[in-house]
Structure 1
Amino acid sequence: MKYCMQCGSEYQDGVKECADCPGSALVDAEAMSQRHIPLSSESDTRKFVRAITADDPLTAEDYVRVLEAERIPVFIRPRRGGAVDVLTTGTLEPWWEIMVGEEHLQRAHPLLLQEKARLDSTADEAARAAEEEEARDGSHRAPAQQPLRGSLVVDYERKIRPPPTSLVVDDE
């Protein structure tokens, strides 16, 4: 029997390519066990450990993309259920844990740190560009908008005041 290196599907010996993963190599059971990939007939006993955390799902997906490109088994696990956790525990923890197979942690960690540095530098460049644009356009600020006629104006110190009116009431 042959097995797909990508998804683990089992195929007869005459099949050359996985139907679900075009281009993925089909190998024998020994090659699968050497790469720590369980066969479909075996239970998965791999242990996954946290390699890095991400504060948002887009960053988490970026980390997964980097690891999958290197064929490192990975999955994302939400760290907490919501804002209530901050109230109950008093700590703010990252939203997402990037989990990799324990045997791949040594290889995954430097890749993830390199990607984190790249993402951080990109964010810093964007912040600098925004500050430069704001400084450049600071003298051309648009005037503050007047409230629309008929809308309520909220003054947080005096609560709510009626909208300005241009109607003149004639008592005659």
Structure 2
Amino acid sequence: MLTFSQATALALTSLSLYGVSISTLSTSVIAGEPIIDRNCRYHVRTQEVLRQIPQRNHARVFSTSQFQVNNQKYVLQLLKFPNSTGVLCLWKPHTRLPQRLKDVSIIQDKVIEKLEKHPDQPATYIVTVKGDESGDILNTAYRLNLTNPEQPKVTPLIRVYKK
């Protein structure tokens, strides 16, 4: 039978080994929201991810909108970055992660001031993009047609020029 001191020593040794194994197997996680990059990927907030993805490439979800095409529900998200540029991400049915909207380079990584659903067309959005500081264009409104989410279409609607 174990004496009190032997039982205490065994308990402390077991606890120490348990603590060491837990700290070895676990990765350090920093509290807070996940980090979203420019490719719409979500990352667990760890020291390593913070080193790999600079702060200027940490997005926050600015808006989320659902639409339906062929009885399938999709979600369009606008991510905003610290320099005010935006990225559009598409959540497809039966997928766990969003993808960066493809073939819309005219509006991706630009300063998106407004994203709103078209009132009459359910899978269409009006995207207002701020013009370049050095150019003559103040902003441009585009129609983003997602009736075929695999091949989105962007059409310029109106351009407002600086005086």
TM bucket, shorter chain: under 0.3
Between Structure 1 and Structure 2, whose CA radius of gyration is higher? 1
Task: Tell which has more relative contact order, 1 or 2 (C-alpha 8 A, sep 6+).
Answer: 1
State the TM-score, normalizing by the size of structure 1.
0.23
Higher strand share: 2
State the TM-score, normalizing by the size of structure 2.
0.24
Higher helix share: 1
